[in-house]
Structure 1
Amino acid sequence: MNKWSNKNRPWFFALLFLWMLCTASPAGATGDEGLQPLSLHDAFVKALENNPMLQQAQATTKKADAQVGQAFSAFLPKVNLDLGYMHTNNPVMSFSNKLNQAAFTQADFQIDRLNHPDYRDNWEYKFVFMQPIFNQGQEYIGYKTSKLAKAISDLGYSQTAQSVLFMVEQAYCQALLAEEKVGVLRTAYKTASLHETLARRRYEAGLVLKSDLLSAQVQKTKVERQLFKAESDYLIALAALNNAMGVDQGLKWHIQRIDFESSDERELDYWLKIAKEHRPEYQMAQKQLKIADYLHKQALFKFLPSFNLVGIYQGDRQNLAYFGGDSWTLMANMTINIFNGFGDRAGVSAANADRQRAAARLRQVEQAIELEVRQAYYRFQTAKKQLKVARQAVKQAKESQKILRNRYSNGLALMVELLSADTTVKETSLEEAAARFDARLAWSELRRKAGVLGQDIIVRFKDKAQR
């Protein structure tokens, strides 16, 4: 046995050197050389520019902004032009039309002509000016609630943007994980090929049974199948990333590496505090409560009078070729609500109930946010610990594989032990990659639950879009 080992040991070291050359550089495992580089920041920018969910949110904010202008217009005067034509022999209408046309004569006072006038045409134009003064608070309340609705739509955009950026980061990390999985399995495939060659040489030398060679070949085939699936999963992950960014799903990128670990050691109380300050949902619930307060005031204003100013300039003529008469009218109108069938009182009760519901909704949102932040914080702490353990497991698995490879080459270990070590290295490497992925996403989720994920880039992009 020792004689064979000394004789064949150079073969083993040659194969080992070849294996080290093949696995020394895992970069480019997916053949992405020459492709356009894509960083996480680039992915965020593309998503903010192209994601359909954000485009819908932008349209909503534009609509809310337009509705603010629409509500403000209620304070401004209204000017309308009314046009009319009349052909009549109605005594009252005919008498009135003649007066308005400045065509009335003394002969028109004859009784018969008053009772039986001839048919008469009247072309009328009327400019009507109306200046709202107070209409039970509708203008004021409408304007205030529209501004709050605009603020809510802005917060809704921020909420959607953070969700989209988290989705992009998740897809980005998933693509990196899929790429790394391809690299791990390619390394495992090369290792399996190396061990197959080693088993074949020992079998041909009559030192092991054929079962060792067959086991090595089965291991190689198994890893190859896993590699095929991993390569397919990588393409799917790229398509998912492109979909999150809102670009052509067939695009391929050279995805840049990111730091999967965060050294953030801030305590839970810090995250709870900033979540209450920055979480869009909480601020939206606060503004919904303010809207409910305004609507309650509007219900109370129903008991107050309405007051408006009206001005009318009117012109009348019998035919379009001749100028007739014109006149001015200025009016002040007031409407006092005396009794409305107790409907206004019921409206106050309904508005008060809506206000109570909005206050309860605010408390519910506050409690839900606190729970979400706590969950995200503890997941982040757990993910960091799991990553540390996973890295230690990889080191131990590789050391064990190295020992068993040396023992097998010297006839001191079985092929099944070596293959088991290979499987352990592969699995622990994949678990370590997944643990890094989980740690990064746990960190991102904590920032999202605190309302600060991508906050700077969202604000910069929104300001740029508004300019």
Structure 2
Amino acid sequence: MKRILIAITLICAQGTLLAQDHVKISLGDVLARVQESNASIKVSEQEAKMAKYDYQFSSSIFLPQISVSHTGITTTNPLMAFGSKLNQEILTQADFNPALLNDPDQIENFATKISVEQPLINMDGFFQRKAAKTTMEAKDLQASRTRDYLDFEAQKAFGQLQLAHRAVQVLEKAYEAANANLNTAQNSFNQGLLQKADLLEVQVRVTEVENQLNSAKSNVKNASDYLAFLMNEQGNVVYEPTEELMPNDLGESAEATLENRADVRAMDLVSEAYKANMRAENMTFLPRLNAFASYEMYDDQIFRADAKGYIIGASLSWDVFKGAQRFAKVGKSKTNYEKSKQEYEQYVAKSSMELQRTRRMVEDAHNRLQTSKLAMDQSEESLRIRTNRFKEGLEKATDLLMAEAMYAEKQLAYYQTIFEYNQAQSLLTFLTKE
């Protein structure tokens, strides 16, 4: 039993060490790993490949279909026996005897056939191929936009990691300051210079800061987990950013034309694909022209060809009426096309609204950044003054605690504003990227 307890203790200790494994990482490393390993990017690339194969499949409308077959039979069927002899070019005058025609002897027939079918005019197939090509181009653009979005999401996740680490640093200093104030308060209480209620307030403040610090450390782990998820990496790792959280001035973004953005172009191409499908359905009312040819070899022994022949021809087929199927398909394809146009217009309008909102967001965040910096500096100076007065017994513990809490709050607010400012700029870059 003792050995089991020791083993469990060692396993738990090992798990704790693994859980505390810290890895330094830069934004450049994050972006590279996300682009290389992210699951969403891989899925979008596979969808683009599927669309490419659909386009290759549509090439059947102008490429020939070639097949080779070798068939062997043995029969006493009157028609099959007579036809087999005829194909083998071994028919004689005696075979026209009615008795032999009606009750032939068993005969073997081996046939080798090479067939070629060549589409000539299939108008619906041409438009189906155009729709497949347009869909393939749309999927490529969507895959490209997915990469852009994952770039933006990786920057956001890295900023969250920076913010979480900065919050831990702020709260660790606040915790040290709270403990120092607690020691000062304890000494003053021992000397009879401080009431019990004031000492308890200081102790409560220490507990509050400790709880906030534990929550901030949990946020670091949460941010690390999300970053690992984006990079498609396994393991319980806590990442530490090599860059500090600082305001990033990306400069003025260019006036982008939404119609040139990858996702908007993809939506437009999807609409074009529906249009091509609609025209393809309309073309099913037209006839189809196909050429065909076959070269046939016959013998009564396997893999031999003493008799040969060929067939060459063309087929003009026209499905004049197939119930209400084609009318329904034409109506449905037209409705899909009209729907796709409405969705495209709605998407462009929504994207334009998001772009204008993001521009205002960047401006508002920049204004808040300056205000929050002044507020943090003011609260820091106020805390310094009250701390010195408290040490001299000239300040109440309540006022000191309020000043300390205010400074920590203003620090966290300042770094939160930096994060929001950086993310607003990253979002603006993402929305204006062509």
CA contact (8 A) 1:310 1:332 kept: yes
The 5 Å alignment of 1:353-372 reads: 353-372=335-354
CA contact (8 A) 1:126 1:314 kept: yes
Q: How far apart are residue 389 of structure 1 and its match? A: 1.5
CA RMSD of aligned residues (A): 2.4
Q: How far apart are residue 275 of structure 1 and its match? A: 3.2
Q: How far apart are residue 356 of structure 1 and its match? A: 1.6
Amino acid at match of 1:427: E
Deviations 1:141-197 (A, max 9, x none): 232222212112112212322332333222211111111111001110111122223
Matched, 1:275 2:258: yes
Distance 1:249 1:276 in 2: 42
Q: How far apart are residue 345 of structure 1 and its match? A: 4.2
Amino acid at match of 1:275: L
Matched, 1:91 2:78: yes
User: 115-124 vs 326-335, which deviates more?
Assistant: 115-124
Q: Residue 80 of structure 1: which of 44, 67, 75 is its match?
A: 67
Distance 2:304 2:342 in 1: 69
Q: Residue 123 of structure 2: which of 122, 136, 150 is its match?
A: 136
> For this pair of structures, how many residues does the alignment match?
415
CA gap 1:342/1:182 in 2 versus in 1, 3 angstroms: closer
Aligned to 2:416: 434
Aligned to 1:222: 208
TM-score by length of 1: 0.82
Aligned to 2:385: 403
Distance 1:37 1:224 in 2: 25
Distance 1:181 1:341 in 2: 71
Aligned to 1:156: 142
Aligned to 1:263: 249
Unaligned runs of 5+ in 1: 1-32, 453-467
CA contact (8 A) 2:111 2:297 kept: yes
The 5 Å alignment of 1:328-367 reads: 328-341=310-323, 343-367=325-349
Q: How far apart are residue 262 of structure 1 and its match? A: 4.1
Matched, 1:191 2:177: yes
Q: Residue 325 of structure 1: which of 284, 307, 314 is its match?
A: 307
Distance 1:346 1:135 in 2: 20
Aligned to 2:236: 250
Distance 2:21 2:340 in 1: 56
Aligned to 2:40: 53
CA contact (8 A) 1:275 1:451 kept: no
Matched, 1:419 2:401: yes
SS in 1 for 2:308: strand
The 5 Å alignment of 1:3-152 reads: 36-138=23-125, 140-152=126-138
Q: How far apart are residue 373 of structure 1 and its match? A: 1.5
Amino acid at match of 1:400: S
CA contact (8 A) 1:136 1:303 kept: no
Amino acid at match of 1:144: K
CA contact (8 A) 2:258 2:348 kept: no
Amino acid at match of 2:389: R
Matched, 1:288 2:270: yes
Distance 2:81 2:308 in 1: 16
CA contact (8 A) 2:185 2:202 kept: yes
Q: How far apart are residue 327 of structure 1 and its match? A: 0.8
User: 428-437 vs 85-94, which deviates more?
Assistant: 85-94
User: 93-102 vs 223-232, which deviates more?
Assistant: 223-232
Distance 1:211 1:353 in 2: 75
CA contact (8 A) 1:238 1:249 kept: no
Distance 2:166 2:155 in 1: 16
CA contact (8 A) 1:279 1:449 kept: no
CA gap 1:386/1:190 in 2 versus in 1, 3 angstroms: same
The 5 Å alignment of 1:294-305 reads: 294-305=276-287
Q: How far apart are residue 331 of structure 1 and its match? A: 1.0
Q: How far apart are residue 264 of structure 1 and its match? A: 5.0
Deviations 1:384-423 (A, max 9, x none): 2222211111011011111212222333321111111001
Amino acid at match of 2:206: K
Distance 1:247 1:73 in 2: 42
CA gap 1:194/1:154 in 2 versus in 1, 3 angstroms: same
Deviations 1:64-116 (A, max 9, x none): 22222222244211111123233223332222110101111122222332233
Matched, 1:176 2:162: yes
User: 203-212 vs 98-107, which deviates more?
Assistant: 203-212
CA contact (8 A) 1:74 1:132 kept: yes
Distance 2:337 2:22 in 1: 56
Matched, 1:388 2:370: yes
Unaligned runs of 5+ in 2: 1-19
Deviations 1:192-243 (A, max 9, x none): 1222232233334443334433332332232122222222321222122111
CA contact (8 A) 1:240 1:249 kept: no
Deviations 1:281-308 (A, max 9, x none): x112211121122112212222222111
User: 367-376 vs 178-187, which deviates more?
Assistant: 367-376
SS in 2 for 1:149: helix
Q: How far apart are residue 256 of structure 1 and its match? A: 2.0
Amino acid at match of 1:186: E
SS in 1 for 2:194: coil
CA contact (8 A) 2:298 2:304 kept: no
Deviations 1:299-331 (A, max 9, x none): 222222211111111112223276431111111
Amino acid at match of 1:122: N
Aligned to 2:15: none
Aligned to 2:11: none
Distance 1:72 1:266 in 2: 47
SS in 1 for 2:257: helix
CA gap 1:59/1:79 in 2 versus in 1, 3 angstroms: same
